[in-house]
Amino acid sequence: MQLQEKIVEKVLFLIALSSIFILALITFFIFEEGIPLILKVGPKAFLLGQKWIPSKGLFGIFPMIVSSFWVTIGALLLGIPLGLACTIFLSELIPPSVGTLFRPAIQLLAAIPSVIYGFWGLIVLVPLIRNYMGGPGLSILAGSLVLGFMILPTIITISEDALKALPPSYKAGAFALGATHWQTIWRVLIPAARSGIVASVILGMGRALGETMAMIMILGNAVKMPTSFLDSARTLTTNIGIEMGYASGGHRQALFATGIVLFFIIMTLNTLAIFLSKRRAH
């Protein structure tokens, strides 16, 4: 029996190790392809350059970095208040039996393919923005609205878990002091679960930064510095998705170098989210 347990333990250990090995292999491959281009062009010229013309050897990705954060910030402006409102509604304002009907619907948002979100944005949001707000319609605003809905499952699920993990004494103590239900939620529960809620927002931000297909369809893919939410733009991920199919030589290396920048951004956000989650646990 002990021999069987040891064998199972070793097999599970190897499986876990294989996942780490695959991640390390992917990381090595990306860095091997991208680092030579960054060293050749120069980190400053690559990160802060404003012209992306691969045919002329110009590989500045700063407009795409700025566009990525514009789209992400726009998504968070929609996703944070809407996600927090849904979290409070599900965890505090409806009976548990009713909540079991709403949660699968929210989780279904995460199962919808991103191309469906992009198609919906292209058919519904883009014409509305073009007709009522001006501009080409294919814009940062359209991308932000679509991403705002795409990150809702992440924010709602993790935030609700953070609220449910709080000791019942928090709520009981607030009621004992004469606080209303809403005062208890806003002044006691939300601040107590703050680290978990912030972690959900950071993970949602990482989800938004990494989205590709939907953004290819509705951002307009203009490589320029954005000045308005109605401008067309191109993010780091859409740049890779659009050009990788025909890139070669230094152009291909530049796309891998773009992946390195994106890799560091996402890893930083995930590390910060893990740190905040551990703070909540303690």
User: Which of the 8 DSSP states describes residue 93?
Assistant: I
Phi then psi dihedrals of residue 53, to 5 deg: -130, 85
pLDDT for the residue 12: 87
Domain boundaries, the chain: 2-48, 61-281
pLDDT for the residue 77: 94
Kindly give the parts of the chain with pLDDT less than 50. none
Read off the amino acid at residue 113: P
Name the H helices within 89-193: 96-111, 114-120, 126-132, 140-150, 152-164, 168-176, 181-184, 190-192
C-beta neighbour count of 179 within 10 angstroms: 16
pLDDT for the residue 280: 53
Q: What is the pTM of this model?
A: 0.87
pLDDT for the residue 39: 92
What superfamily in CATH does domain 61-281 come from? MetI-like (1.10.3720.10)
Which 3 state secondary structure label does DSSP give 139?
A: coil
